[in-house]
Copies of this chain bind each other. A is one copy, B any other.
């Protein structure tokens, strides 16, 4: 089997489900770490800061540092910087998104924004959506951290950021620019961050529509595990297949 120089690893459904680590996840990361192969956690979750995500992983016994976590919020903040430095942004989102934008030097404003940036916000309100629409109608470009329609939780599938973003898209007619998986923007940034060529990287994830298509579209090899959203049956007729399909990450270690 091909040797990879780096791994991009999804979190939700691959490393953990809600508050519980997925069996094999810690063992897999420790194995990769033991071989001194670099890895980056690549998550569409925009709500937390990298250090918070790393702590959550550590608390589950999974090795991680803040530097190894690349969220859709970081990718979005960097994407905005690539178009405009010190941009004025109207933000709907949680701590991770505000923090990433601030660290990139962008200024959160209520009116006169250059960009409206939307990430998951469990405190969404009509007023927040109204201000987003007014800014877009006033000329702000609409950018969204990720287009996940639903997110898996203990209670079932709840609205994801793609669903929240649709309020502003439908109301204004603006077409959002999505940053996170499966879009090219986040993948290119992650490859930049790793300083590696795509042929040398394996993308590991559970969600065919986000993780696996992100990898395939960016030209990476992909490993799909069946511990999260997508089952192998779901993709039996898909034209684009993952490079590897494994029930869980134990299977990768035993190969």
A contacts, CB < 8 Å to B: 121-126, 129-130, 133-134, 137, 149-150, 155-160, 162-164, 166-173
Contact = CB atoms under 8 A, between A and B. Distances in A.
A93 to B, nearest CB: 12
Contact of A166 (B126, B130, B158, B170): B170
B170 A158 contact: no
Contact of A133 (B123, B158, B167, B170): B158
Contact of A158 (B130, B156, B162): B130
A43 to B, nearest CB: 19
B171 A159 contact: yes
Given A123-B126, A126-B123, A157 B170 contact: no
Given A163-B167, A167-B166, A167-B167, A130 B155 contact: yes
7 contacts: A122-B126, A123-B125, A124-B129, A126-B159, A134-B156, A149-B171, A159-B168
A148 to B, nearest CB: 9
A162 B129 CA distance: 13
Given A124-B125, A125-B124, A150-B133, A162 B157 contact: no
Nearest to A120: B126
Given A166-B166, A170-B149, A171-B149, A159 B124 contact: no
Nearest to A151: B171
Contacts of A123: 125-126
A150 B130 CA distance: 10
Given A122-B126, A134-B156, 6 more contacts: A125-B125, A126-B158, A129-B163, A134-B158, A150-B172, A166-B170
Contacts of A173: 149
A155 B134 contact: yes
B129 A159 contact: yes
Contact of A170 (B121, B126, B163): B163
B155 A159 contact: no
A65 to B, nearest CB: 31
Contacts of A158: 126, 130, 133-134, 171
A156 B137 CA distance: 9
A159 B123 CA distance: 17
Contact of A159 (B133, B149, B150, B160): B133
